[in-house]
Amino acid sequence: MPDPQVEEFLSLVQIENYEDTYSKDIRDGKFFGLPLQALIAAEKRLRSERSIAYFSMEYGLASSFYNRFSTLRRIDEQNESREHEVFSNYRLADYFFTVRPSDLIDLPIYSGGLGVLAGDTLKTMADFRLPAAGIGMLWSTGYFRQKFWFKYGQAPEEMHWDPYTYPGLIPLKNRIKLSFKSGELVLRLWKYYVYNYTQDYAIPLILLDSNIPENSENNRHLTDQLYRSESNAIRIMQRAILGMGGARALADLGYNIDLFHLNEGHAVFAFVEKARGLSEEALAELKKHFAYTCHTPVEAGHDRFPFFELERILRDEDAKVAERFGTEAGHAMVNLTQLAIEASNSVNAVSKRHYEVMLQQFPQYKDKINFVTNGVHTHTWMSENFKRLFEKFEDRIGDIKANPYALKKAEDLKSDSAFRQEVFGAHQENKVALCNMLAKWKLDKDTFTVCWARRMAAYKRPSLVLQDINRLISIAKKTGPIQVILAGKAHPKDSLGFTYINQMLDKIDGLSEVYDYLKVIMLENYDIAWARRLVQGVDVWLNNPLPPFEASGTSGMKAIMNSVLQLTTLDGWVVEATEEMGRIFGYQFEGGKIGSEFDLHMAEDASKLYDALEEMARLYYKTNASGKIDYSSSWIDLMINCLIQSERFNTYRMLDEYKSLVWKMPEQVRVGV
Ligand SMILES: *Cc1c(COP(=O)(O)O)cnc(C)c1O
């Protein structure tokens, strides 16, 4: 029996192998278990309303737990989450046990914070009911899987997954052809829909894929690994696929795009694609339709390509546009950051501090640059325990689901004893869940627990808390036991990141004697599933980047949404916090010269970190004495301050600012798509 909704959907979206493969999951008004009607409306909307195209190399959608699709087909076992090993100073447990933080893997098309931000942004655009589409890449081998090699460091393993049985992901019949000096490249399109939290509105994410028989063997591999970097030729091609392929895909789908939002310089070839053959006047007009967000002040985050390499790959006409707008003064090189700034009328940094740094790095563009501080998506990162708690207090605080600004009202409940108890109780439940997962390592819910987890980049100083092990041991002996959890991947070509991991594993290996009062646990293969459990379940979130190199940082925002205290240097988003959320320590950027990201101030900052950690541990044990809780403790004030502060550091405030500062859509103008 033909279902009219399915018929309508199929007339708008050309699915490859619908009958054989996808008809089981797209039927009876449902798309993998969620309402099909929202998708029909989305497809119609994008063909008529002027829309925003949001480009990012990576997306971390938390698809294993947020708006998760269901499927009636068997999911390939490669899409099931594998077991993670653990390296701790309780080697016996490491030897016998592994952990698995989720059952399904998250769509493996992200590496870290940039991807999670892009995912959180699409979800919030859907919550705001904006006309928008996301553009990204279908990375067929993801980023990579991190394996520990006993204590000798990280072994990056190639990751494999099956897009054909990933719930909610569909291949399209559409093909995009791009021309290069070497010939034609054909791209297949995929779609994944990002629903709003009430599941009645959706935004398509279009993913580009070169792994099809029409392409040469080499070209088929172009979309295999995110941030693959062994040659500039591959890096240029990946960027051309995202930018040019993305712009062409939007046109092919008939979407009416008014604004191209570029994240990092990665997507800037969308401008080159659109600029082809335009007059000077039309070029000036085109720039009004581009916005660019810069996400890092760190040098390695800015792509530079010599003219000769661009000219060998791109058609002459395209290379010319890139060189005209992107040449770095005095060099025969194109800097994609410069190109993106030149291509866009609106340029923004991702925090106030990052904005100040950008003004120093790009003084010639100071009039164009603005800032919108990052946020995190409440519905994704706030634990169920805290959502329930806020429902209980809805008459006093308001509906934080619909309006996270209402979190500010937690201020009024600071001296409410029932609220204080519930906050501590909700946190303890989250902590118990984490401790249960790591029960074989004897993690305890009444022990002071600190976590550092994110990408292992040098400027983030992953090993700082292990810098002076004896000091750490002596604090634990004096104040009470301490549990430290560490996790993070280093990019496979980042030898400094590797060195950090080796050093950390080695230090942990030397700690077997002190396990009763100092447990140090390093988790393998940090990912979104781990991030969710850790930001919810620990007492203190440690954030120690070297100022001013953390453009924003977002993991701490996920933690404060769950009342987890911050132990942090003063950088990125933290500079804008107005409530006391824990302790701030270490080297501070006072303006003036930015300095070197490799001058890490390790010894001085470690010492200050330990002072602050000791204070926090003392206060913790005054608050929680082996399960006997002092609800009047200032620790609980700090927990509530964290919740209050979430009012600002979420993607709703962020999108409100993007709407007014960045996406002011010009009247009555349209790019010829
Ligand atoms: C949030 C998140 C990050 C970002 O962490 P920062 O502290 O901002 O560097 C990285 N990786 C994962 C998996 C995340 O969820």
- Asked if the structure places residue 451 within a domain, the reply is yes
Task: Give the position, in ligand 1's atom list, of the atom nearest the Cα of 572.
Answer: 8
Whether the pLDDT of residue 237 is over 60: the answer is: yes
**Residue 587's pLDDT band (cuts 50, 70, 90):** very high
Pair 222, 177 in one domain: yes
What's 116's domain CATH number? 3.40.50.2000
Out of 353, 371, 389, a domain closes at 371
Q: Mutation test of ligand 1: which of 111, 554, 558 has the most ligand atoms closer than 8 Å to its C-beta?
A: 554
pLDDT tens, position by position, 325-346? 999 888 999 999 999 999 999 9
Q: For ligand 1, which residues put their CB under 6 angstroms from it?
A: 112-113, 116, 454-455, 526-528, 531, 553-555, 558
Mean pLDDT value across the chain: 95
To 5 degrees, how large is the angle CA 571–CA 572–CA 577? 85
Q: Does residue 455 form part of some domain?
A: yes
Same domain (yes/no): 483, 585: yes
Residue 230 DSSP code: S
Where a domain ends, among 342, 371, 400?
Answer: 371
State mean pLDDT over 400-429. 97
pLDDT digits (tens, 9 = 90+) for 500-524: 999 999 999 999 999 999 999 999 9
356 and 382 both lie in a single domain: no
155 falls within a domain: yes
**Which whole number is the average pLDDT over 61-70?**
98
Query: 322 and 270, same structural domain?
Result: yes
Average pLDDT over residues 558-574: 98
Residue 22 lies in a domain: no
Report how far ligand 1's centroid is from the alpha carbon of 112 (Å). 5
Structure tokens at 239: 């960027």
Q: From ligand 1's centre to the CA of 414, what distance in Å? A: 29
Q: How many domains does the chain have?
A: 2
138 & 259 share domain: yes
Q: Is the pLDDT of residue 349 over 50?
A: yes
Calculate mean pLDDT across residues 658-666: 80
Same domain, 564 and 482: yes
Please tell me the distance between residue 562's alpha carbon and the centre of ligand 1 in angstroms.
15
Write the pLDDT tens digit of every residue in 10-49: 999 999 999 999 999 999 999 999 999 999 999 999 999 9
pLDDT at position 363 over 90: yes
CA atoms within 13 A on the CB side of 168: 28
Pick the residue whose CA is nearest to atom 8 on ligand 1: 553
* 252 is a domain residue: yes
**pLDDT over 60 (residue 667):** no
Contacts of residue 5, defined as CB under 8 A and 6 or more positions apart, other chains included, come to 29, 36, 37, 40
Has residue 296 got a pLDDT over 50? yes
Output the residue whose Cα is nearest ligand 1's atom 11. 112
Asked if the structure places residue 660 within a domain, the reply is: no
Q: Would you state the structure tokens that stand for residue 210, as one six-digit string?
A: 């070169």
In a mutational test of the pocket of ligand 1, which residue from 111, 295, 351, 455 has the highest number of ligand atoms less than 8 Å from its CB? 455
How would residue 666 be classed by pLDDT, with cut points 50, 70 and 90? very low
Instruction: State the residue range of the domain holding 534.
Output: 378-649
Residues 428 and 383 in one domain: yes
CA of 491 to the centre of ligand 1 (A): 14
Q: Kindly indicate the confidence band of residue 671, based on its pLDDT and cuts at 50, 70 and 90.
A: very low
Co-location of 367 and 396 in the same domain:
no
Identify whether 78 is part of a domain. no
Select from 371, 392, 410 the last residue of a domain. 371
Closest ligand 1 atom to residue 532 Cα is: 15
Residue 673: predicted pLDDT = 28
Beta bridge partners of 191: 170, 206
User: Residue 1's pLDDT is what?
Assistant: 63
Which positions ≥6 away from 91 have C-beta within 8 Å? 509, 512
468 and 514 in a single domain? The answer is yes
Q: Which amino acid is at 83?
A: E
The total of other beta-carbon atoms located within 10 Å of residue 32's CB is 21
b/e per residue 278-287 (b: at least 16 CB within 10 A)? eeeeebeebb
CA-nearest of 137, 162, 140 to 21 is: 162
User: Ligand 1 pocket test: which of 105, 116, 227, 558 has the largest number of ligand atoms within 8 Å of its C-beta?
Assistant: 116
Residue 667 inside a domain? The answer is no
Question: In terms of DSSP bridges, do strands 290-293 and 346-349 run parallel, antiparallel, or are they unpaired?
Answer: parallel
**Same-domain pairing of 485 and 599:** yes
* 239 and 127 part of one domain: yes
Q: Which amino acid, residue 189? A: L
Question: Ligand 1: distance of its center to the CA of 113 in Å?
Answer: 4
- In the chain, the N- to C-terminal Cα span, in Å, equals 37
At residue 495, the pLDDT reads 87
Cα 671 to ligand 1 centre (Å): 35
**514 and 534 housed in the same domain:** yes
pTM for the model = 0.97
Q: If you take atom 3 of ligand 1, which residue's CA is the nearest one?
A: 113
